[in-house]
Amino acid sequence: MEKWLENNLSTLTDALSPCKNCPVANTERDVNLPGTGAVIALLEKLLGVLYPGCHGQAPVVHDTCHSHLHDTLRDIAVELCDQCQRAFEYACRRAKCENCDDCVVKARQAVTALLDGLPAIRDMLQQDIQAAYEGDPAAMSTMEIVMSYPGLYAITIHRIAHALYAQGVPLIPRVMGEHAHSRTGIDIHPGATIGPGFFIDHGTGVVIGETCRIGKRVKLYQGVTLGALSFAKDEHGVLVKGIKRHPDVEDNVVIYAGATILGGDTVIGHDAVIGGNVWLIHSVPPGSKVYNQTPKPVIRPGYPIPDDYSI
């Protein structure tokens, strides 16, 4: 190995050096984006604001919790503003922006909007928690939901990421959303609009696309996909971005496990129930119940059971 290092290490270093032509290097001089670890660390601070003492190592100290929150919010504001500014600057460089010099202003506006909206986000999350408690007979307390339910974790991160997405912040909302995806198996694009009282039961394998609009008090089970039916392309064969591709789900809808609902023109009317493994590419009127025809199982006789058989 020493012989190989002596003969090849310099050449390999030149070939892989981020200082030269590496297409995915995030260097301070060129790309200068916050790393995913920094975004996730800041996200954990925001979770600590919304659920004090629930996602850390210990409960918060009651006598100092007010001053601690004050200091934490200040840290979040400074760090997130820096992260957003760098994300805006990166997007400007990619778009060959002519030194518009407003990335600082846009970053401050985005962070201010998020911080001003945190009380409203917390109120929405309280409705999400209550929906989970009322919708799951296995839930013994609301604190159990806060500390252990993947659906609440995913929707909490989504509500934070969506607030930044709504302000046009590049990249950072996607990093937040994909962190929740990796932790929970629930993939919610930060562009999706989701009303209060939202509950994902079990959660694994749920996919909610960018242009989905979901109303109030909607309940999804595992494996539900709210996706695109097809992807439009321009005359050069390039995917067209920014168009409505994903379905709308109105208030008080329940969608059971494995259902797939596709298309930007598809609307699931309020108070509808969509059964398990249903495939839908067209709208459903309010109050509908949509189920697949139950297949008839084939049961073949097995071997005779011995008299002394026991489990």
116-126 pLDDT, tens digit each:
999 999 999 99
The pLDDT of residue 144: 97
The pLDDT of residue 262: 98
98: confidence class by pLDDT, cuts 50, 70, 90: low
The amino acid at residue 301 is P
Any bridge partners for residue 225, and if so which?
Answer: 207, 260
DSSP strand pairing (219-220 vs 199-200): parallel
Share the mean pLDDT of the chain: 92
Q: Decide: helix, strand or coil at residue 126.
A: helix
The pLDDT of residue 101: 72
56 vs 216, more confident: 216
293 part of a folded domain:
yes
Pairwise CA distance, residues 58 & 23, whole Å: 42
What is the average per-residue pLDDT within 283-309? 84
CATH number, domain containing residue 283: 2.160.10.10
Supply φ then ψ for residue 225, to 5 degrees. -120, 125
Tell me: do 153 and 248 sit in the same domain: no
Tell me: do 113 and 253 sit in the same domain: no
Which tokens sit at 111? Answer: 């962070």
Tell me: do 160 and 59 sit in the same domain: yes
Which tokens sit at 134? Answer: 């009322």
The pLDDT of residue 203: 92
14 part of a folded domain:
no
Tell me: do 96 and 161 sit in the same domain: yes
pLDDT tens-place string over residues 31-77: 889 999 999 999 999 999 999 999 888 999 999 999 999 999 999 99
220 vs 12, more confident: 220
Range of the domain at 229: 205-301
Which tokens sit at 80? Answer: 């997130």
Look at the chain and report how many structural domains it folds into. Answer: 2
What is the average per-residue pLDDT within 258-287? 97
The pLDDT of residue 29: 80
Q: If residue 194 lies in a helix (H) or strand (E), which one and from where to where?
A: strand 193-194
The amino acid at residue 225 is T
User: How many helices (H) and strands (E) are present in the chain, helices listed first?
Assistant: 7, 14
pLDDT tens-place string over residues 137-186: 999 999 999 999 999 999 999 999 999 999 999 999 999 999 999 999 99
Q: Which of 136, 155, 187 is the last residue of a domain?
A: 187
Backbone conformation region of residue 65, classed left if phi is above 0, alpha if psi is from -120 to 50, else beta: alpha
